[in-house]
Homo-oligomer: A and B are copies of this chain.
């Protein structure tokens, strides 16, 4: 429409303020070595012209972009159906980045092509650092970028030996508390619906279940799901078939727990009278299920924030902690 009014440049501001470009630059970037009256004059000129620095020009010379990428695997529907995990991560990351005045570039991938795009984009130094959330298996990209000297932080302890800094929650501790709760309540046949065994969250939660059970004389009864509601439904059926007399089940995710609840209801089991159920996540929805779900709370928002914080630290050149573990906590409601 409008002939896009010329955006003022440093040059223009310098002219108006009667100083050199260098001085304006110093004022804009808050250098301390500018005399007060001149600083004021420049600021007046900046305000008058509505000057805003051109980010491209700036990053061309500074080699910084003041933005970071958050890479999410766009795994089969999981990402954004009704699983609030990624949204919370995004939210947390965004909050933290805001305070540092950095931009958030979101990248979702599943296809090989998309993967390559991420690689190109990040190695092109289009961003100052990269965050990876919830990668399956042993993803090589984080390590690869790290080796190129690009700051990287991932969620979840990496599988295999990787030296990439990560942030995770205390899966094992949370699960053990959950299973202990079940044991303390006198439950004798405690089953579990585990998560995918190519993700650290799935692996660790199963390990926690086994570890706590090992201290008792109960045997383990295991079915595996993929964190989705359907898989929880399915796995619960399996479990009931394997041991019709089970009286408790620890489910490795809230969504699967809700699936399990549905199956139990369909099979005529009362919760918690016949079967106690404990989940893992503490999603909002679990406060409203019937019955409300006892679950292990993991601080996902904080996970996102911590993730960003560590990356910012690395970008600033500080040594990032190689590992940060956030606490989990059992939230007791009606289901167990």
Query: Which chain A residues have a beta carbon within 8 Å of chain B's beta carbons?
Result: 1-5, 7, 52-57, 59-60, 65, 67, 74, 79-82, 84, 86-88, 90-91, 94-95, 98, 101, 103-108, 114, 117, 120-121, 123-126, 146-149, 229, 258, 262, 265, 283-285, 288, 290
Contact = CB atoms under 8 A, between A and B. Distances in A.
Given A56-B65, A90-B80, A106-B94, A7 B125 contact: yes
A303 to B, nearest CB: 13
19 contacts: A1-B147, A1-B149, A7-B125, A52-B120, A56-B59, A57-B60, A82-B84, A84-B87, A86-B87, A87-B87, A91-B108, A98-B117, A101-B117, A103-B121, A104-B105, A104-B106, A106-B106, A262-B288, A290-B290
A81 B80 contact: no
A265 B291 CA distance: 12
A175 to B, nearest CB: 23
Given A4-B148, A105-B103, A126 B55 contact: yes
Residues of A contacting B: mostly: mixed
B82 A4 contact: no
A133 to B, nearest CB: 13
A253 to B, nearest CB: 14
B125 A82 contact: no
A53 B67 CA distance: 18
Nearest to A146: B1
A4 B265 CA distance: 59
Contacts of A101: 117
A124 B54 contact: yes
Contacts of A124: 52-55
Please list the 10 inter-chain residue pairs (A to B) with the smallest Cβ-Cβ separation, ordered nearest first: A82-B284, A4-B149, A80-B87, A56-B60, A80-B91, A52-B124, A56-B59, A87-B87, A104-B106, A81-B284
A22 B87 CA distance: 44
